[in-house]
Amino acid sequence: MTVLIVGTLGLDTIETPFGLKKDILGGSAVHAAMAASFYSQAAIVGVVGADFPTEHLALLKERGIDVSGIEVGKGETFRWSGYYEYDMNQAHTRDTRLNVYNTFDPKVPDKLKKAEYVFLANLDPQLQLKVIKQLDSPKLIAMDTMDFWINNKREALREVIKQVDFLLLNDGEARQFMETPNIPLAAARLRQLGAKSVIIKKGEHGALLFDQGGRHFSAPSYPQEMLRDPTGAGDSFAGGFIGYLARTQDVSSANIRRAIVVGSVMASFNVEDFSLDRMKRLTPQEIGRRFDEFRGFAEFGALNIKL
């Protein structure tokens, strides 16, 4: 089952307490597709400039990712530069250069229009809307966004939210967008805006689901001692989440919980190194072992005293 992913392909310059890396492979669609590719075939719709190194495309192809929806536009590749301090949950943007995305008019290739599982990764919400309009009959649409679009394209963002099954946001972004410090309240307001279910990612502290039945699920955090670069954690989470749902073809609430833990597993690996460096080396066995560890973190017995 193919997962269609639309988002950025970019060159990131990132500074963390563990080093400074210039012009490394990044972009929301890249991180998401890499994580999804462990479960389903991923296909990317996006644009790069002629300066995008061909080895990056080769790496995506090696993972079986369909790159036929990636255009080469006139101009430079998207670039993002940011830094993290010791609280690595919070990315600080230094510079965002949309470059080829300024004039990008996404065209979903015919064979991908019938994709049933779709992830609208971080991107201009007006472009996200254009993609939704080209889809034949999507079964499940998930979307992500960030402060850049909350600040600059609030109205278009509200339009996209109405059309998605899952809205994924960081805790800080949910608070900012819904103007409340209270996460359950922010999630309830996002659902009132039309998102069927809301997933709030809390970086190293796990993830929360507020689903369409008003039910709540909390995925545990992973005690990660190898955290080097959190860039792409949110997209890896989303890629794992939707890739797993597409693979299993099961959107029951029990399977959605499992998919959230799969997403958390993929994010926990992605942050172990810069760019896709950890994901390139990741094996299915490692994924399986870490999933079992996550299960253990959330297990506890029933109350065994009489109150």
Question: Least distance from C-beta 181 to ligand AMP, angstroms?
Answer: 21
- The contact set with ligand AMP (CB under 6 A) reads 8, 10, 12, 26-28, 31, 80, 96, 122-123, 146, 148, 231-235
- CB nearer to ligand AMP: pick between 6 and 245: 6
Minimum distance from residue 10 beta carbon to ligand AMP (Å): 4
Q: Name the residue type at position 226.
A: M
Q: Which is nearer to ligand AMP, 98 or 116 (CB)?
A: 98
Nearer to ligand AMP among residue 138 and residue 263 (C-beta): 263
What Cα–Cα distance (Å) separates residue 142 from each residue in 32, 97, 197, 276?
12, 25, 9, 22
Nearer to ligand AMP, 30 or 209 (CB): 30
User: How far, in whole angstroms, is CA 76 from its chain's centroid?
Assistant: 24
Nearest-CB residue for ligand AMP: 26
Q: How far is the CB of 105 from ligand AMP (least distance, A)?
A: 16
Which amino acid is present at 23? D
User: Smallest Cα–Cα separation from 145: which of 126, 162, 165, 168?
Assistant: 168
Residue 257 CB, nearest approach to ligand AMP (Å): 21
Hey, what amino acid is at 140? L
Alpha carbon separation from 272 to 196, 240, 262, 278 (Å, rounded) = 32, 16, 16, 6
Q: Which of 101, 139, 94 is nearest to 123 (CA)?
A: 101
| Shortest Cβ 299–ligand AMP spacing (Å) | 28
Terminal CA-to-CA distance of the chain, rounded, Å? 51
Is the CB of 148 or the CB of 297 nearer to ligand AMP?
148
